Amino acid sequence: MTEFFEVALPLAMLPTLAVLLFTGYPVALVLAATGLLFSGLALATGLMPLAALYNVPLRVWGSTSGNLIYPAVPMLLFMGLALERSGVARDMLLCMRLLLRRVPGNLAVGVTILGILLAPAAGLIGASVATLGVVALPTMLSQGYRPSFATGSVAAAGTLGIILPPAIMLFFLAQQLGVSMGALFLSTMLPGLLLAVLFILYYVLRATWQPEVAPAMDAGAPEAPGHLLRYTLRALGLPLALIAAVLGSIIAGWATPTQSATVGAAGGLVLMAVQGRLTWARVHEVVAGTTRTTAMVFFIIIAAVVFSYPFRYLSGDEMIAGLILATGLNDWGILLLILGIMFVLGFFIDWIEIVVITLPIFFPVLSGLDFAGYVGSEELALVWMAVLIALVLQTSFLTPPFGFSLFFVKGAAPPSVRLAEVYRGALAPLALQGLMVAMVLAMPWLAVMLPRAVLD
């Protein structure tokens, strides 16, 4: 009987977690409760001594203390929220709308660029998409944009922020896979920007062929207040300079992630002051939003430790690795299988739960795959796989009928916009996402060219 429980308990943990996630309770509570439940079962069946539970607080402390990545999270969230809550994000969109007024589908193009610039706000997929939905969607619909075209561009732009530096997901991916932060930042830039270019080309061509989906800007639209150059520098140049400073200091090695994120947070306050919007009420709103989101992120991290401890104590990670290797698949087959599992998980839970729960389970398998000859080195192979994981998660967030970003866009849209229109609008960006994943799989240099050239 003991042998039965040794196999049954760890294998039952993941299905139990999957079922409990559908109850609607907060993910962190579900994670912790599942860990405690199976710890109790392990104690009752004699598979775990009571003294083993004393290691859980030590594991929680060990996973968070002395970490050079985690302190950057609240600072980057603060920076992103400062750009959004102070109205800087809206000014950026209006400025791009003015600069691109002669480009077909200019608002869709502008919201794509804004999704890139608001990467620091993309702590969670919901925050990124909801921000763009509130900022851009009413303007697009009031200009006569077809609802499916408008919602599709907002959903796609919201997912761009989670894979482009300095997006917070990249900090966690680097931590879990043990790769250089600068290398991961550089590796996602080319695929992410190329994907944005594909989105923009699609919007421009679609608006050119079908002007009714994205009507041109009104001829009587107001010009920028004051001189155009001064307006552009204030509305667009300063936020760009701030994001470039945060990103460049990490890549160049001038500052740790925490130090550069602190500069970004301070820069967010400076931008609010320059825009004349630095008030105690707004600062309090930004601080409160940062605190809530940070607390949620770290609650999930702590709960993941509580869940993973009994799972690993019962050798669940070794069993999962054994099951994957027992499939008899070659390295390519195993990689595609793991990416497929993460793709499906992305339908139901946000990236942070996937990264902090599944990556530690799959990491021994991923690190054992031999792609060094295909990519260039073992370290670059891990960087390449990190980019693939980020792109696959981004794709799952756009895939009907479960894609997270689609539901958040529907929540930000007026009641007149039907969910079917949101689904229809996501199909073209989703096809471009799939194309980008295939390109990075077939041409790994897209992910490793910049790290290899800049960091040698």
CA-closest candidate to residue 163, choices 109, 131, 199, 119: 119
Please report, for residues 325, 373, 449, 450, the alpha-carbon distance to residue 191 in angstroms, rounded to integers and kept in the order given. Answer: 30, 21, 11, 11
Is residue 436 predicted with pLDDT exceeding 50? Answer: yes
Distance CA 325, CA 296 (A): 35
348-388: pLDDT as tens digits = 666 777 887 788 888 888 988 989 989 988 889 999 999 99
117-145: pLDDT as tens digits = 776 555 555 556 766 777 778 878 888 89
Task: Domain ranges for the chain, please list them.
Answer: 72-295
Confidence class for position 153, pLDDT limits 50, 70, 90: very high
Is residue 223 predicted with pLDDT exceeding 80? Answer: no
231-283: pLDDT as tens digits = 777 777 777 787 777 767 766 667 777 777 788 888 888 888 887 788 888 88
DSSP 72-90: HHHHHHHHHHHHHHTTHHH
Confidence class for position 330, pLDDT limits 50, 70, 90: very high
The pLDDT of residue 270 is 85
Distance CA 454, CA 456 (A): 6
The tokens describing 264, both together, are 């970004």
